[in-house]
Amino acid sequence: MPAVTETIETVQSVTESTYKWGFETDIEMEFAPKGLNEEIVRFISAKKNEPDWLLEWRLRAFAAWKTMEEPRWAAVKYPPIDYQDAHYYAAPKTKAGPKSLDEVDPELLKTYAKLGIPLREQEILAGVEGAGSVPAEGRMPVAVDAVFDSVSVATSYKERLGKEGIIFCSISEAVQEHPELVKKYLGTVVPQGDNFFAALNSAVFTDGSFVYIPKGVRCPMELSTYFRINAKSTGQFERTLIIADEGSYVSYLEGCTAPMRDENQLHAAVVELVALDDATIKYSTVQNWYPGDAEGKGGIYNFVTKRGACRGARSKISWTQVETGSAITWKYPSCILQGEDSVGEFYSVAITNNYQQADTGTKMFHIGPRTKSTIVSKGISAGHGQNTYRGLVRIGAKAKGARNFTQCDSLLIGDLCGAHTVPYIENRCVSAKVEHEATTSRIAEDQLFYCRQRGLTQEEAVGLIVNGFCREVLKELPMEFAVEAQKLLQISLEGSVG
C-alpha cells in the first residue's frame, strides 16, 4: 500500500481515540440566554458586579465590534459563524466569587484531577496530559488558576505569593480587589477596537487571570492558568493581564482542553502583558483544544489576540507556544519593543493534522533604540493540515541599531498537507539589521527506515524526528511542560506517516 494512503487511513483510525481530554463534566450550569446584544453585555457585567467604568468600557467595545467585520486575510477557511447562536456566559452553579477549595464542587475537582491539573497546593503540575498527579520531592510547585467555561473556579498558592506582594487571581477578583491596577492597564496593550475578535472579547470577556509582580520581585514559582471549555454552544472569552513591575521576573504557563463535540466552539481570548524597566515575562502556552475529528468535524476555533508591551528599558518578553489542538488557530503573539534595549522573543511549534488549519506567527514592533527580537517558528503539517507562518517585523525610524533574527522551518508529513510562510519586513531604519531564514522539508523515507531498523515503531520514529525538528523551541519551555509537550507532539501525529 502506498505510504500516503496508509497514512491517511491510520490517521483516521487513531484520531478519535487519541484525544484523551475529550470527556464532558456533568455539572449544573447557569447560562446567559443565547445571543449577543447590549443586554447580554450588561448581564455579564452585572453578574460580575462590575464597576460602572468597566461596563462602559465593555459597551464601547461592543459598539465598536458591531461596526467591524471578521478578518478575512488569514489562510483559513470556515463557514460563517453565527454569533447569535451561542451562550456568552456559562458558569457552574455555585456561589460566585473566590473561595477555598473545600467549597468547590467535587465534580469540578474531579474534572481537574482527571486532566492532571493540581488545584491543591504542594501538588505539582502534571501538565497537559497524565491522570492524577504524583507530588515529587524537590520539584518546584506551580500555582494554578483554573478557568472553567466562563469563570475561574480556583486559584492556588495565593497566600504564599501574597507574602511577596505578588497578586495572582482571576481577573474578576482583580476588578473587585485591585481596580486601580486593572483600570490603569486593561486595554492599554490590546485596545478594545484592536480587531474584530479582540473587540468581541472586550465586550463579553468573563474571566481569566491577573498577575502583578511588584518591583524587584522574582516570582518564586511558575504561575499557570488552565482553561477548560465544557458546556455546549458556548464560547470562551477569557482575558489575561500580566504586569511585571521594574526589575521583576515571572514565568507563566497556559494550558487548555475541551470535550469532543461535533459543533465548532469559539475561543476568543485576549492576553496583555506589560513589562516595565528591567522586567522579564516569559509566557508559555501548550494549546491542546479539541482539534475536531478525522473528517474535520467539530473542534475549537482558537482566535486569539496576544500582545506584550516592553515599555521599560531592558525589559524582555518571551512567548513560547506549542500549538497542537484546535480546528483553526489564528494567533500572533506580538511584542511592542518600546523601551530601549528591550527584547522580544517568539518560539513556536504549530502542528496541523487531519483537517486542522493554523495561521500563526508574531509581530515584532521595534520602536526603541537597540531593541532586539528573535523569532523561531516550526510548522508541522500532516494529513490535510494547512500551516501558515505569518509574521511582521517592523522597525521604526528611531529604532537605531535594532536587530531581528527570524527562522521559519516547515516539516511536511504526507503530500496532502500544506506549509506556507508569509514574512513581512518593514524597515525604516538604516542601522537596523534584519535576518530571515526559511526551510521546508519532509520526513524522509530513509530517516524513518533508519529508525525502524533500530527497533523504533513508525510512530516512535515520527515522534523522535519531529521532536528533533522542534528542539530549539521545546528547550524554551519550563522543564515539566517540555516533557509533556514532547509527548503531546507524538500523540498529535500518531499514525501520520508519509
Q: In the complex with other proteins, which residue's Cβ is closer, 241 or 451?
A: 451
Stretch in the footprint of other proteins (CB under 8 A) among 99-107, 205-213, 356-364, 445-453: 445-453
Could you write out the DSSP letters of every residue in 86-112? SBS-EEESS-SS---GGGS-HHHHHHH
Tell me the site size for other proteins, rule CB under 8 A: 24
Q: Which is nearer to other proteins, 209 or 410 (CB)?
A: 410
Under the binding rule (CB under 8 A), the answer on residue 3 touching other proteins is yes
Q: Are 251 and 215 contacting, i.e. CB atoms less than 8 angstroms apart?
A: no
Residue 457 near other proteins by CB under 8 A: yes
Write the DSSP assignment of 320-369 as a string of letters: EEEE---SEEEE--EEEE-STT-EEEEEEEEEE-TT-EEEE--EEEE-ST
The answer to whether residues 21 and 288 touch, using CB atoms and an 8 Å cutoff, is yes
Q: How far apart are CA 130 and CA 25, in angstroms?
A: 17
Q: At what angle do helices 52-66 and 38-47 cross, to 10 degrees?
A: 150
CB of 490 to other proteins, least distance (A): 12
Q: Does 460 bind other proteins (CB under 8 A)?
A: yes
Out of 465, 477, 488, 493, name the contact with other proteins by CB under 8 A. Answer: 465
Residues 22-41 as x/- pattern, contact with other proteins by CB under 8 A: --------------------
Instruction: Identify which of residues 392 and 464 has a Cβ nearer to other proteins in the complex.
Output: 464
Stretch that binds other proteins, among 41-49, 64-72, 247-255, 467-475 (CB under 8 A): 467-475
80 contributes a contact to other proteins by CB under 8 A: no
Query: Cα-flanking dihedrals φ and ψ of residue 245, to 5°?
Result: -75, 175
User: Do 298 and 334 form a contact (C-beta atoms < 8 A)?
Assistant: no
Match 524587584 to its residue by C-alpha cell: 216
Name which of residues 415 to 444 contact other proteins (CB under 8 A). 444
Do the Cβ atoms of 386 and 422 come closer than 8 Å?
Answer: no
With binding defined as CB under 8 A, does residue 452 bind other proteins?
A: yes
How far is residue 162's CA from residue 101's CA, in Å, rounded to a whole number?
18
Q: Which three cell numbers stand for residue 408?
A: 521559519
CB of 434 to other proteins, least distance (A): 25
- Minimum distance from CB of 314 to other proteins (Å)? 31
Name which position in 468, 476, 489, 492 contacts other proteins (CB under 8 A). 468
C-alpha cell of residue 20 = 484523551
Among 416, 447, 487, 490, binds other proteins (CB under 8 A): 447
Contact call for residue 471 and other proteins (CB under 8 A): yes
Residues that bind other proteins (CB under 8 A): 3, 444-447, 449-458, 460, 464-465, 467-472
